[in-house]
Structure 1
Amino acid sequence: MGSASEVVAHLRNSFKSGKTLPIEFRIKQLQNLHKMYNEKQDDIVAALHSDLRKCKIESILMEIDMLINDIKNSLQNIYRWARKEYVSKDLANVLDAPYIQRDPYGVVLAIGSWNYPLQLVMLPVQGAIAAGNCVVIKPSEVSEATAKLLTEIIPQYLDQDCYRVYNGGIPETTALLKEKFDYIFYTGNSAVGKIIHEAATKHLTPTTLELGGKSPCYIDKSADLKYSVRRIIWGKCANVGQTCVAPDFILCTKEIQDRFIQVAKTVITEFFGTNPKDSPDYGRIVSDRHFQRILELMKGGKIAFGGDHDASEKYISPTIIIDANENDAILKEEIFGPLLPIVNITDAYDAINYINARDKPLALYIFSKNKKDVDLIMKNTSSGSVCVNDTIMQLTVDTLPFGGVGASGMGGYHGKFSFDTFSHKKSVLYKDLGILGEYLSAPRYPPYTIGKMRYLQFMLAKRHKFFGTGTNYFIAFLTGALSYYLWSIYGIKFIQMN
């Protein structure tokens, strides 16, 4: 694998050679990844099952297919994403071409998380590849089987001069963070996120931090509980709650709480049978440490349903908790497990106050048919994303950016937003060097006069953008000719004024 400094130095030399710049090269690498997901699907599913006892359906839909669809989207749009973006211009630049050019940052670091150990590291990697960067790929060592598999198979499909897997734990990550990267992308908890950000600051390295937090789920009396509960329980129990955007707790009235519990009992049985431990579709907690942490959280409040657990299998059943005190850890820490506490509030205003008294969440879920209350909550709260009348599904829309705000993270990605995240938007003004362009801009040169100043003020004044982004050349030509004519007649007088 080599030392961190050796790996980064090798990739930097590759980037400086320009190898990753051609779009055709990037396309080939993405196509190779697509091939890898198809050819190694069984191995990937087995690794995910070993780490999390993740069922095959969840592994394919929420990890592999999400990556494949992202690649297809990139392949369909990469030329459009990478082309120059011409922007509108003012009279002073009527003969010129201002545009935005998207350049790769260089050598970037992508650090993944253990809960979706394939998707959460490879999705940003794919965006970085599409944007033309070299990448150090750091899987989470907590998901040991998946990390080991990625270390073995990625060299078989990606160019090793440009993309390297760097496996290991805290010492290896610490060594990586001492190196100077051009961009760092991290997915994980906020405690480590602060360490990443601090390390990046030493090199003035830009970062995207995809963190977590407690994502509230508000339910009012207008919501159809039959469908609402199914969607909430699915969102909470997918990957046994080990999802950064899983609904963390319920906000509802006492009346809705009682009805929610009754419906939830039926739904959980429908999903996983009378004993979820025997269900092939119900996973396990990733490690003994996380298992013990969740058991400690379970001590806050009263168990209204569930609570079964087995340390030998790291199994915890879907559990609904009521009457928790706001000082209990279950209402203060991100749960990241199949526990669903319910907090009683009186109305939407009470819910808003509860949400705003805490860190900004990564996701906010609102179950209501009352559009007025939905708008009220959205306008008066801040969160990374909002999903109305469902959970988690906002992640499936690749035309929406995914990311946090405040304590839940910074920056966003998915689809084109991944490409943009790993691209520096370079401003370019391509000036005309002809006699007309020089004649029109000559009044900027000393010696200055009041006449020159007034002419320049006229040319630079903000007005309606009647010059488009490359489509209105004829209008631009006429205006330029008129400006030249007026300058020829009145320019000397402007210069001579004092």
Structure 2
Amino acid sequence: MGRVAPSVEEVGGEPPPPALGPGETVSGTVAELRAAYESGRTRSLEWRQSQLRGLLRLLAEEEAAAFRALREDLGKHQAEAYRDEIGVLVKSANAALREVGKWMAPEKVWVPLIAFPARAQLEPQPLGVILVFSCWNVPLGLSLEPLVGALAAGNAVALKPSELAPATAKFLGDNVGKYMDATAVKVIQGGPEVGEQLMEHRWDKVLFTGSPRIARVVMAAAAKHLTPVALELGGKCPCIFDTIGGSARDLQTAVNRVVGGKWSSCAGQACLAIDYVLVEERFVPVLIKALKSTLKKFFADSDHMARIVNARHFQRLSDLLKDKSVAASVLHGGTLDAKNLCIEPTILLNPPLDSAIMTEEIFGPLLPIITVKKIEDSIAFVRARPRPLAVYAFTKNAALRRRIVEETSSGSVTFNDAVVQYGIDSLPFGGVGESGFGQYHGKYSFEMFSHKKAVLTRGYLIELTARYPPWDDSKISMMRQLYRYNYVGFVLTFLGLKK
């Protein structure tokens, strides 16, 4: 198979730490996970709850070490790290701990009277042994958030953190086994070769978070074993910015949320970050003025924005600005600091639509603003492009909101804010089309890693012989009635009381 992650040479930096301890192998680790699951202990409510409690203790007792790791990997301020990663995880794990007993309970389902006497239910059962590939931009959150659901569902889990966030990968490798069942929950560190080895084995489900290019490789490898795959990818998330009306306060609140949804989430290196803004031409001066003043207020201290993950991604973002026509569209920012891997928040106005900055996911602190004649034209603009993970729209226009929901396709739609939907457990997180497939968070995480087994139990009170050979016209007629009516209707017809 092809590689499931970039090489060290591609990304720069030191090689990742050894994948496994002395004497350990990928095959042996997978076998140990399989044995742990087959032992049956992961299925009990007590085991599931104990793992979630262990995860909560890890987050509480090792919080300072987690902050240090995220700072080392991405330059994240601890406030951002807590808001986007640790705090979200604490909330998710507590919710799962509180609700998992209900989630596990069989669900009664309606059975048509034609099957009388019968009862039916759906019984959630764990899938088995799960493989989670996480990514580098939210390296703690996107590792442990799926783990919450997989453990709540009663699975054994292998977690492969990204080698592009080595400090966080090491943090996970050092601590997960201390707080959870070390034979049923394993962290496997390493580079692309480890990912290749992992995908040679049979898994009961694989969750991959990353780029579409690597996702295709993962799916091709999974096809060998017919392993189901969930993909969390991303895409160019648009922000439709309507005129907010006469309220200066509402305008400022909206701009605060745009700036937060673009630059304060890992410096724009987030799958849910705003990628570009669509706005009416007449409103551009007002919006840009508000954006500039808000950026100055939020990021007067450069320490409050994360840095670019590595030299390769810094160069990729720098290259987006090298095109002369793109460079000419820069209205604010654009300063590059290669030594510290920092890029100033940058605003561009109407860069060419065929340029790389408008055809590739930016994944960085560059924000194109695209003008339209009427804000309604933004819907056609979004529809003409691949389906994004999220569509954002700031508007008080109820008709426009309805059109955006009905006429665009995306993993989610958020009105009058950005990114916050990720932290709401009652909403599923996931994409559609090129932005991925499969949904998790809250109960959706439990369901992603469960199989709802259909269980039907019938009694012996009634036996309809029309279902059996030898066949004749009367049995066909009877079957027509059976499928046309429910059981009561059939009996009434059979007795001649209903035509």
TM-score, L = length of structure 1: 0.90
Matches within 5 A, 1:15-30: 15-30=37-52
Confirm or deny: 8 A CA contact 1:307 1:319 kept in the other structure.
yes
Pick the aligned partner of 2:53 from 31, 34, 42: 31
The CA deviation at 1:142 is 0.3
Alignment partner, residue 289 of structure 1: 312
Matches within 5 A, 1:27-106: 27-106=49-128
Alignment partner, residue 14 of structure 2: none
The CA deviation at 1:462 is 5.2
> Helix, strand or coil for the counterpart of 2:208?
strand
> Helix, strand or coil for the counterpart of 1:428?
strand
Deviations along 1:39-80, one digit per CA (max 9) or x if unpaired, are 000000110001111111111121111111111111111111
Alignment partner, residue 140 of structure 2: 118
Asked if 1:305 is matched to 2:316, the reply is: no
Percent identity between matched residues is 38
Amino acid at match of 1:330: I
How far apart, CA to CA, are the structure 1 residues paired with 2:73 and 2:450? 33
How far apart, CA to CA, are the structure 1 residues paired with 2:485 and 2:254? 51
The CA deviation at 1:486 is 9.8
Greater gyration radius: 1
Choose 440-449 or 200-209, whichever is displaced more: 440-449
How far apart, CA to CA, are the structure 2 residues paired with 1:85 and 1:456? 30
The CA deviation at 1:134 is 0.8
Deviations along 1:225-264, one digit per CA (max 9) or x if unpaired, are 3222111011111221111111100111222222111111
Pick the aligned partner of 1:431 from 444, 450, 458: 458
Structure 1's unaligned 5+ residue stretches are 464-475, 491-498
Confirm or deny: 8 A CA contact 1:298 1:339 kept in the other structure.
no
How far apart, CA to CA, are the structure 2 residues paired with 1:431 and 1:456? 19
Confirm or deny: 8 A CA contact 2:121 2:456 kept in the other structure.
yes
Amino acid at match of 1:421: M
Alignment partner, residue 240 of structure 1: 267
How far apart, CA to CA, are the structure 1 residues paired with 2:292 and 2:430? 32
Confirm or deny: 8 A CA contact 1:97 1:431 kept in the other structure.
yes
Alignment partner, residue 26 of structure 2: 4
Alignment partner, residue 377 of structure 2: 350
Considering only aligned residues, what root-mean-square deviation do their CA atoms show, in Å?
Answer: 1.9
Amino acid at match of 2:473: I
> Helix, strand or coil for the counterpart of 1:20?
helix
TM-score, L = length of structure 2: 0.89
Alignment partner, residue 182 of structure 1: 204
Alignment partner, residue 441 of structure 1: 464
The CA deviation at 1:19 is 1.7
Confirm or deny: 8 A CA contact 1:91 1:460 kept in the other structure.
no
Structure 2's unaligned 5+ residue stretches are 1-19
Alignment partner, residue 209 of structure 1: 231
> Helix, strand or coil for the counterpart of 2:393?
strand
Pick the aligned partner of 1:258 from 285, 294, 297: 285
Deviations along 1:10-50, one digit per CA (max 9) or x if unpaired, are 11122112121111111111111111100000000110001
Alignment partner, residue 389 of structure 1: 416
The CA deviation at 1:413 is 0.5
Deviations along 1:162-184, one digit per CA (max 9) or x if unpaired, are 11111011111111111111100
Choose 448-457 or 362-371, whichever is displaced more: 448-457
Amino acid at match of 2:320: L
Asked if 1:330 is matched to 2:353, the reply is: no
Asked if 1:231 is matched to 2:257, the reply is: yes
Confirm or deny: 8 A CA contact 2:280 2:375 kept in the other structure.
no
Choose 3-12 or 206-215, whichever is displaced more: 3-12
The CA deviation at 1:211 is 0.2
How far apart, CA to CA, are the structure 1 residues paired with 2:403 and 2:334? 35
Amino acid at match of 1:72: N
> Helix, strand or coil for the counterpart of 2:408?
coil
How far apart, CA to CA, are the structure 2 residues paired with 1:317 and 1:217? 21
